[in-house]
Structure 1
């Protein structure tokens, strides 16, 4: 290969490795969250694929369809079939596709910030803090964390 043709090949390799849709051989979407300081429980079970650009932080996660569930009968969460955001160490901003029901209104969660052992969820005009212990496992679409007790009561 001539020296002048090596440069375009090297650029192509760098571009392809920095922005990539991960399959079975790469880290999972949950592992990428952990790498950036977040617990896996930010995403419900069932991610079918994701894209992550390490250079820009652009992150997309895909599900088979929309997903909703309640947590401890107090919060109802809804995930669209595709969620997007910009991921950096201890911060997920410009989040789209995740909403929470507060009283009678659905509000979009636009940012999640980790501060020590707490996660701050922002809906733009307000925010709420929760300990990281609440997110050590991923909830399941339809039943959240209450799937076992629902199955045993049937």
Structure 2
């Protein structure tokens, strides 16, 4: 009888461990990516409404956001989201951003980092490599709609099939 109780105890302990692991995994995945951003001290509007899914590794901070395809929207200037956007997410900061570019004076520059140092300041900082740009947090309150890049008119006024359109 002693062996039976020990086996039951091991099974119960294993069940508890599996349940607690699955509950902790599902609690973070039950948040939308916009809710996750808010929880991490960033505005929800940094990512478009059209996010299909995302993966977030809470241990190393890697955030991967998946869209149906590249799309354009506008904050202060036009921005292009690739099909996959990656960054390391910590409280108030997206570092090592990949898959996001911003138009500055007809030049497309990669966004490398997005930071909110003090939410009370009302300022968000975009590091676009050559410069750091301060924007109003109010621009990012709501997730923007993002249109497929083929639907945008370039700066010359021509409607293109995107940035790589034939000339």
Q: Note the 1:72-151 alignment, pairs <5 A.
A: 75-116=77-118, 117-142=122-147
Q: CA RMSD in A?
A: 2.7
Specify every segment of 5 or more residues in structure 1 that has no aligned partner in the other structure, as ranges: 144-154
Shift in Å at residue 125 of structure 1?
Answer: 2.4
Shift in Å at residue 13 of structure 1?
Answer: 6.3
Question: Computing the radius of gyration over CA atoms, which structure comes out larger, 1 or 2?
Answer: 2
Kept in 2: contact 1:84–1:97 (CA 8 A)? yes
When you count strand as a share of all residues, which structure comes out higher? 1
TM-score under structure 2 length normalisation: 0.70
Structure 2 Cα separation of the partners of residues 59 and 102 of structure 1: 26
Structure 2 Cα separation of the partners of residues 137 and 60 of structure 1: 20
Structure 2 Cα separation of the partners of residues 42 and 27 of structure 1: 16
Structure 2 Cα separation of the partners of residues 30 and 47 of structure 1: 9
Any runs of at least 4 consecutive aligned residues in structure 1 with deviations exceeding 2 A, and if so which?
A: 1-7, 9-22, 69-72
TM-score under structure 1 length normalisation: 0.76
Structure 2 Cα separation of the partners of residues 91 and 19 of structure 1: 23
Q: SS at the partner of 1:98?
A: strand
When you count helix as a share of all residues, which structure comes out higher? 2
Specify every segment of 5 or more residues in structure 2 that has no aligned partner in the other structure, as ranges: 1-6, 149-167
